[in-house]
Amino acid sequence: MYSQYMFNTLAINPAYAGSRDILSTTALMRSQWVGVEGAPQTKTLSFDTPLRNKKVGMGVQLFNDEVGITSLSGGFVSYAYRIFSEKSTFAFGLQAGASHFKADFNSVQLQENGIDYAFLSNIDQVLLNFGAGIYYNTDRFYIGASAPHLLNNTLNNNKVVVTNGLVARQYLHLFIASGYVINLDDDFKLKPSFLFKGVKGAPLQLDLNTNLWIKNVFSVGVQYRTNADIGALVEAQVTPQIRFGYSYDRSVTKLANFNSGSHEIMLRYEFSFEKDKVLSPRYF
Q: How does DSSP assign 13-36, residue by residue?
A: -GGGTTTTSS-EEEEEEEE-STTS
Give per-residue pLDDT as tens, 138-156. 989 999 999 999 999 988 7
d(CA 5, CA 21): 19
Model pTM?
Answer: 0.91
Looking at the domain assignment, is residue 220 inside a domain?
A: yes
Looking at the domain assignment, is residue 283 inside a domain?
A: no
- Strand 205-214 relative to strand 188-199: parallel, antiparallel, unpaired? antiparallel
Range in 58-67, 125-134, 152-161 with the lowest mean pLDDT? 152-161
Q: Would you state the pLDDT for residue 86?
A: 86
Give per-residue pLDDT as tens, 28-84. 999 999 999 999 999 999 999 999 888 999 999 999 999 999 999 999 999 999 999
Q: Would you state the pLDDT for residue 272?
A: 75
* Beta-ladder partners of 229: 225, 251
* Structure-derived torsion over alpha carbons of residues 6, 30, 2, 44, reported in degrees to the nearest 10: 70
Measuring CA to CA, which residue among 209, 197, 249, 206 is closest to residue 225? 206
- Provide the percentage of residues in the chain whose pLDDT is more than 70: 92
Phi, psi (5° rounding) for residue 147? -135, 95
Q: Is the predicted pLDDT of residue 174 greater than 50, yes or no? A: yes
Q: Is the predicted pLDDT of residue 159 greater than 60, yes or no? A: no
- Provide the percentage of residues in the chain whose pLDDT is more than 90: 75
Computed over every residue of the chain, the mean pLDDT equals: 90
pLDDT band at 164 (very low <50, low <70, confident <90, very high): low
Q: Would you state the pLDDT for residue 118?
A: 73
Looking at the domain assignment, is residue 279 inside a domain?
A: no
The per-residue DSSP string of 172-211 comes to -EEEEEEEE-EE-SSSEEEEEEEEEEEETTS--EEEEEEE
Q: Is the predicted pLDDT of residue 202 greater than 50, yes or no? A: yes
Domain that holds residue 223: 5-270
Burial grade of 241 (CB within 10 A; 0-12, 13-18, 19 or more): middle
pLDDT band at 119 (very low <50, low <70, confident <90, very high): confident
Say how many C-beta atoms besides its own lie within 10 A of residue 270's C-beta: 18
Read off the CATH number of the domain in which 91 is found: 2.40.160.40
Average pLDDT over residues 240-248: 94
Q: Would you state the pLDDT for residue 203?
A: 92
Looking at the domain assignment, is residue 25 inside a domain?
A: yes
Q: How far is CA 228 from the centre of its chain?
A: 17
pLDDT band at 284 (very low <50, low <70, confident <90, very high): confident
Looking at the domain assignment, is residue 126 inside a domain?
A: yes
Looking at the domain assignment, is residue 266 inside a domain?
A: yes
Average pLDDT over residues 271-284: 63
Q: Is 52 left (phi over 0), alpha (psi -120 to 50) or beta?
A: left
Q: Is the predicted pLDDT of residue 276 greater than 80, yes or no? A: no
Write the CA distances from 174 to 9, 59, 77, 133, 150, integer angstroms. Answer: 14, 20, 19, 10, 10
Q: Would you state the pLDDT for residue 8?
A: 86
Say how many C-beta atoms besides its own lie within 10 A of residue 220's C-beta: 13
Q: Is the predicted pLDDT of residue 278 greater than 50, yes or no? A: no
Range in 41-50, 214-223, 250-259, 272-281 with the lowest mean pLDDT? 272-281
d(CA 82, CA 79): 10
d(CA 117, CA 200): 27
Looking at the domain assignment, is residue 284 inside a domain?
A: no
Measuring CA to CA, which residue among 193, 195, 203, 211 is closest to residue 253? 203
Give per-residue pLDDT as tens, 6-18. 888 999 999 999 9
Looking at the domain assignment, is residue 280 inside a domain?
A: no
Q: Is the predicted pLDDT of residue 115 greater than 80, yes or no? A: no
Q: What is the count of structural domains for the chain?
A: 1
Instruction: Look at residue 9 and give its three-state secondary structure.
Output: helix
